[in-house]
């Protein structure tokens, strides 16, 4: 019989397998879709060297269906990681009530998951953009003096 204070009971092993399988399966699905639909674009290089598989960044972030599949899998994958951090915090507070150092590792885990979600939906070019400079034209190219 279930405890009176538990709402849902999920075996930790099953939760761990599902959590690990989401990015793993999404990664191989993205590579398959890149090879199937965008083979020439995903394996092209600027120096003309032939590639037979796309790079990771090309497979998961360059083409539209793959990008959304990857983002959805990582977003769903992060929810159990937040849950495991909360479970760890609860467990450690019961077995070590006088020692509060475990809260540091819980905070680091939560910050890591939050940063992964932030980086997932924030494009790299948007992160390094300086506010207020988007209206200025780029500087002119340097002048070379003739001999």
Q: Are 30 and 59 in contact (CB under 8 A)?
A: yes
pLDDT average, residue stretch 84-96: 89
What residues contact 33, with CB distance under 8 A and at least 6 apart?
63, 65, 66, 69
pLDDT in tens, 106-147: 999 999 999 999 988 886 554 455 555 555 556 666 676 665
- pLDDT of 11-58, one tens digit each? 889 988 989 999 999 999 999 999 999 888 888 887 888 888 998 888
- Quote the CA–CA distance of 74 and 72 in Å, as a whole number: 6
Alpha helices in the chain (DSSP H): 12-37, 39-43, 56-61, 64-95, 102-121, 124-127
């Amino acid at each position: 019989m279930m405890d009176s204070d538990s709402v849902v009971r999920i075996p930790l092993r099953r939760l761990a397998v599902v959590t690990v399988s989401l990015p793993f399966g999404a990664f191989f699905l993205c590579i398959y879709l890149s090879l199937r639909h965008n083979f020439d674009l995903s394996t092209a290089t600027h120096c003309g060297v032939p590639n037979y598989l796309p790079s990771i960044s090309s497979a998961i972030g360059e083409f539209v269906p793959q990008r959304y599949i990857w983002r959805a899998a990582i977003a769903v994958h992060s929810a159990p990681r937040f849950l495991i951090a909360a479970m760890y915090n609860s467990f450690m507070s019961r077995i070590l009530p006088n020692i509060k150092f475990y809260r540091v590792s819980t905070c680091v885990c939560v910050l890591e998951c939050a940063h992964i979600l932030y980086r997932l939906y924030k494009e790299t070019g948007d992160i390094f953009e300086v506010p207020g400079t988007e209206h200025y034209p780029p500087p002119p190219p340097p002048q070379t003096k003739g001999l």
